[in-house]
A and B are shown apart, each in its own frame.
Chain A
Amino acid sequence: MSGYLTGVLVVLAFNVIAAYAVYLPLAAGQLNLGIAGFMAIGAYTAAYLTNEMGWTILPAVVAGGAAAGLVGLVVGLPVLRTHGIYLAMATFALGQVISAIFLNLDVVGGAAGYPVTEYAPPAAVFGLAIGVVLFMLLLSSTRFALYLAAVKGDPTVADLLGISVRGIQAAAFTLGAIVAGVGGGLYAHHFSFIEAQHFSVLLSVFTVLYVLFGGTQTVWGPLVGAGFFTLVPELLRAGDQYRYAIFAFVLILFMAIRPQGLVTTAMLRLRRRAGSAA
């Protein structure tokens, strides 16, 4: 595999992981605009553990995910009391605060960034991305996934059917934070350098775009969205600077035609029916 292709696929893998981190709370109707902050927690925690504590990469990345999940749970419980635009603003602010903390934390390099000594090869990144996709596919066959949709669709009815709406929302938020943290931890060890500026709101917004573009109705949406956002600009490279304009045009067109996202439940059912009829 050429270095270029490997590079593109690594970016795709990290984008897929990040997309699922956003998808989990979004599937329960919670927009987390601070996902970059949770990636930063995972990245800095894992990097600190391998750099300063002599841990190996695997447990350090797991610990990064756990740290992000813990912050997600502790912060998520009060933050999830807000809804809609207020929740988006609260998570946006949370992401900014986390990024600002690392920017001023000298023990992990502060504004100068933090070099990471241990290196995770592309195979590890691909392995994690495939693992996350398989985990999400498995999760989509559980009651938990059904309840995410129920809580998003009609929280009052979900509550009357005995479902703990806040419990499901908090679990989705925390699980999303864990996935982001694990992704961040591996990111730090693959690129061997992290800086707080990378985990900005722009990263969060782009990740949300992947998911909205791919669609939140099915577990395939984030995968398709992340794939589209990563691969299409590469395919348009021949168009030089025009590729950004072409990409923007395609994006607006898709959003206008399919505001519900590229992949929907109705589309999957149609394909399944066509498959069984054939």
Chain B
Amino acid sequence: MSIAISVEGLSKSFAGVQAIRNLSFAVPKGGATALIGPNGAGKTTVFNMISGVYAADAGRIVVNGTDVTAMPSRRRIRTGIARSFQNIRLMPHLTVLENLLVGQHVRASSLLDLLTPFRLVPNHRWKREARAALEESGLGRYADETVSGLPYGVRKRIDLVRATLAGADVLMLDEPAAGLNPSETHALRDHLRALLGRGLTLLVVEHDMKFVDSICDNVVVLNFGEKIAEGPLSQVRRHPKVREAYIGVEEEA
């Protein structure tokens, strides 16, 4: 089984507070792995370290066989990894289509790509590709809308489409289902299944266990920055440390 993301002995502290402690786990290629844990467990910190927003104090991060631990954040996307954000971070004044065009950058980064006035060309291939990705996700009608005026659920999905347009084969999704209504969650589930069907690898931070159960085959549980369990959700659910982390320890009377 080949590995998409491998994290070995990762540690990070902020002003003396140990956020991540000696964390190791692997994300197998072609499947969906969930990173779960109570609030403040360090899930988003792990995402930020893998994507390069935070530098690791210790440990090693390997993406698609490339050691990215010391690689500048800007270059990591070229190893085939892209991410979405817990609090949606699209460019609010740009249209949906323009946001997606920005997302294509890694595949259109030559000087010629940068300076070609392609937006004057009707139906240019970059625009066509972005529109097709939107159509495929059922979001085609929003292509020319300004992002700031769109409903939360739609913006969440657009964030996901932008990540896919980077041409990455590993997607890190930070709470993709948070704040979605049941029908939006259902559409998201179908969308993610379609991505898995295309051979993409997903690493998902999510609180909705029903959603995790329907998508992910492997779960890594964090608490206070440490891994406390790993395996299929049905198994880790019964793990005493996981139960303790989520429910707490019953005090003896």
The answer to whether B85 touches A157 (Cβ under 8 A) is: yes
Within residues 69 to 106 of chain B, which ones have a CB less than 8 A from any CB in chain A? 73-78, 82-83, 85, 89, 91-95, 98, 101-103, 105-106
Q: Does B166 contact A (CB under 8 A)?
A: yes
Interface positions, chain A 137-171, Cβ under 8 Å from B, are 138-144, 146-147, 149-150, 153-154, 156-165
Q: With both chains docked as a complex, state the minimum distance between the C-beta of A107 and any C-beta of chain B, in angstroms.
A: 37
Complex CA–CA separation, A219 to B217 (angstroms) = 49
Interchain CB contact under 8 A, B94 and A162: no
- In the complex, which of the residues B52, B75, B117, B149 contacts A141, with contact meaning CB atoms closer than 8 Å? B117
> A217 at interface (Cβ–Cβ under 8 A)?
yes
User: A81: CB under 8 A from chain B?
Assistant: no
Q: When the two chains form their complex, are residues A269 and B93 in contact, meaning their CB atoms are under 8 A apart? A: no
Range of interface residues on A (Cβ < 8 Å): 20 to 34
Does A162 contact B117, Cβ atoms closer than 8 Å?
no
Q: Is the CB of A265 within 8 A of B146?
A: yes
A123 within 8 A of B: no
Contacts of A154 in B (CB 8 A): 89, 91
Task: Given A143-B101, A265-B146, verify A162-B91 contact (CB < 8 Å).
Answer: no
Q: Does B120 sit at the interface, judged by CB under 8 A?
A: yes
With A163-B74, A217-B93, A269-B95 already in contact, the answer to whether A158 and B117 are too (CB < 8 A) is no
The complex places the Cα of A161 from the Cα of B83 at a distance, in Å, of: 9
Assembled-state Cα–Cα distance A235/B162 (Å): 48
Pick out which of these stretches binds chain A: B17-25, B58-66, B107-115, B227-235.
B107-115
A141 touches B89 (CB 8 A): no
Q: How close is B243's CB to chain A, nearest CB, in angstroms?
A: 35
B residues near A266, Cβ cutoff 8 Å: 93, 146, 149
B114 touches A144 (CB 8 A): yes
Chain B CB within 10 Å, residue with most, of A139, A149, A162: A162
Q: Mark B105-136, 1 if CB is under 8 A from A, else 0.
A: 11011000111111110000000000000000
Known contacts A142-B115, A162-B74; A150 and B102 CB within 8 A of each other: yes
Are B91 and A160 closer than 8 Å at their CB atoms?
A: no
Are A265 and B93 in contact, with the CB atoms below 8 A? yes
B239 to chain A, nearest CB (A): 33
Residues of A within 8 A of B73 (CB): 159-160
Q: Does B164 contact A (CB under 8 A)?
A: no
CB-CB < 8 A to A162: which residues of B?
A: 74-75, 77-78, 105-106, 109, 166
- CB of B244 within 8 A of chain A? no
Interface: B11 (CB within 8 A): no
List the A residue with the shortest CB-CB distance to B144: A269
Q: Which of A149, A159, A165 has the most chain B CB atoms closer than 10 A to its own CB?
A: A159
- Decide if A143 touches B74 in the complex (CB within 8 Å): no
- Closest beta carbon of chain A to B141's beta carbon, Å: 13
- Tell me whether A149 and B74 are in contact (CB under 8 A): no
Given contacts A143-B118, A162-B166, contact A149 B93 (CB under 8 A): yes
B148 to chain A, nearest CB (A): 8
Taking the complex as formed, is B209 at the interface, i.e. its CB lies under 8 A from any CB of chain A? no
> Closest Cβ of chain B: how far from A68's Cβ, in Å?
20
Inside 8 A of A147's CB, which chain B residues have their CB? 102, 105, 114
* Top 9 closest pairs, chain A to chain B, by CB: A141-B117, A141-B119, A153-B91, A162-B106, A162-B77, A141-B120, A150-B102, A157-B89, A159-B74
Residues of chain B whose beta carbon lies under 8 Å from any beta carbon of chain A: 51-53, 73-78, 82-83, 85, 89, 91-95, 98, 101-103, 105-106, 108-109, 113-120, 144, 146, 149, 162, 166
Instruction: Enumerate 11 A-B pairs (CB-CB under 8 Å) in ascending A order.
Output: A141-B119, A143-B113, A147-B102, A149-B98, A150-B94, A153-B91, A154-B89, A154-B91, A160-B83, A162-B77, A266-B93
